[in-house]
Amino acid sequence: MNSSTQDSLTTNVPQSSPVDTPKVIIVIPFYNHSHTLRDVVIKALAVHDAVMVVDDGSTDRGMDKLEGLSVHIIRHAENLGKGAAILSAIKEARTLGMTHVVTIDADGQHDPDDFRRFIPIIKENLDAIVVGKRDFIKADVPFGSRIGRGISNFWLRVETGTILGDAQSGFRAYPLSVIENLHLREKRYALEIEVLVKAAWAGVELLEVDISTYYPPPDERISHFRLFWDNLRLSLLNARLTMRSVAPVPHRKIVNNRHRHGEKITVLHPLRSLKKLLTENTSPEQLAAASALGVFLGTLPLIACHSIVILFAAAFFRLNKVVALSASQICMPPLVPALCIETGYFVRHGEFLTEISMTTLGYQALERLYEWVIGSLLLAPIIAVLVGGTVYVICVYISIKKRKIRY
């Protein structure tokens, strides 16, 4: 990273503490926020004695506003982006012996006093990323910010199955050990979304805490969010992350990694696969739900797109994608589609289709497709319940048997 680091003017950093006690530093990245920076820093120092500011190539001499304040300073020779500023701060925080950074925006939108709300959560969840959920009810929030937050929340759920109320908030607590083990590519605003998605994939818990927010009048707002380019970066990032999220390839875990390698999940060995999955903190209810979802969607005539629909649905409902895909293989032709067509034919004509010929399956293909749709809508829920119930019973039996062996 093209950055230069300057020693702090005066640094108040705790030098020692018990291993299980987090050492936190407040990080305030800024770029041309000279009008608000000093006030934000003073408020941050009032609640915590370790504060770092990152000058991301400012040209308005904002750093001069910090004269006499006890802060640690990092300077970028040029503007590299908010993401790059956060990564520089994390790297520097490690050299200072910190375990966590809490980022606060420099535009005055956040109240540094809310930092106090993060500390209890950090202490109880050392590996979690904690996101400040802004109060959009009381604040005079710009319409664009409301829309942006909703879009970010939606894509986070699609890509990870995780529900957050404010995926765009810049007031966050990051464990250094987590960020250092993620492969991050973004350097600007998009990094804040990339961090959440890849952390969730890695098994990191994403938590929330309510915070206040302040939006000044439009003529006083300072924002360096470039409507076209930053939205384009976010769109490209979400497209890339979505494609990765639906791929049936396990994500590398950095927290509570209990996966065993070398064993495949396959419908051909259901008992062995379920035993493996039950060792991975997956409950019988979750496995049953994933199986039922896979079979339900696999029964529908989603020609040439079964897999992609199943993967999206499993991600959205936070279910095991591999299980859902594996269970859907039960519905492979010809048996289940034939049953659906026969059911649909019976609904239409009051009798079963007994003639299989070029006429019935060739020239009348559109009619068979219509009957397939009708039959699948009737049979999909039934088959899903049967398969899901069977999986649940087997999983409960395996769990009970394992407990008996253990004791």
Would you put residue 31 in left (φ > 0), alpha (ψ -120 to 50) or beta?
beta
Q: What secondary structure letter does DSSP report for 249?
A: S
Cα 245 from Cα 161, distance rounded (Å):
10
pLDDT of residue 140: 66
Q: What is the dihedral of CA 346, 347, 350, 355, to 10 degrees?
A: -30
Strands 129-134 and 100-103: unpaired
Pairing mode, if any, of strands 100-103 and 172-175? antiparallel
**What is the structure's pLDDT at 77?**
94
pLDDT at 176: 97
Residue 53, strand partner residues: 28, 73
Contact between 277 and 265 (Cβ < 8 Å): yes
Residue pair 273/327 in contact (Cβ under 8 Å)? The answer is no
List C-alpha distances in Å: 289 to 267, 283, 299, 319, 344.
16, 10, 15, 7, 26
Length of the chain counted residue by residue: 407
Q: Tell me what pLDDT residue 401 has.
A: 75
Evaluate whether 25 touches 93 at the Cβ level (below 8 Å). yes
Output the pLDDT for position 275: 59
Euclidean distance between CA atoms 277 and 356, whole angstroms? 42
What is d(CA 86, CA 262) in angstroms, rounded to the nearest whole number?
37
In terms of DSSP bridges, do strands 129-134 and 72-76 run parallel, antiparallel, or are they unpaired?
unpaired
Mean pLDDT in each 10-residue stretch from start to end of the chain (407 residues)?
A: 39 43 95 92 97 95 90 95 96 97 94 97 96 81 73 85 90 96 91 94 95 72 57 80 76 63 47 58 84 93 83 84 80 85 91 74 75 93 94 85 64
- Domains of the chain (ranges, CATH numbers): 4-246 (3.90.550.10), 270-406 (no CATH)
pLDDT of residue 117: 97
Tell me what pLDDT residue 53 has.
97
C-alpha 49/C-alpha 118 separation (Å) is 15
Residue given tokens 């994403």 in the structure block? 206
Specify the pLDDT at position 135.
86
d(CA 117, CA 58): 30
User: What is the model's pLDDT at position 132?
Assistant: 96
Whole-Å CA distances, 314 to 58, 160, 274, 294: 44, 10, 17, 8
DSSP 8-state assignment for residue 250 = P
What sign for the dihedral angle of Cα 304, 305, 310, 315?
Answer: positive
Query: What is the per-residue pLDDT for 11?
Result: 40
Residue 158, pLDDT score: 79
Cα–Cα distance between 174 and 130 in angstroms, integer? 7
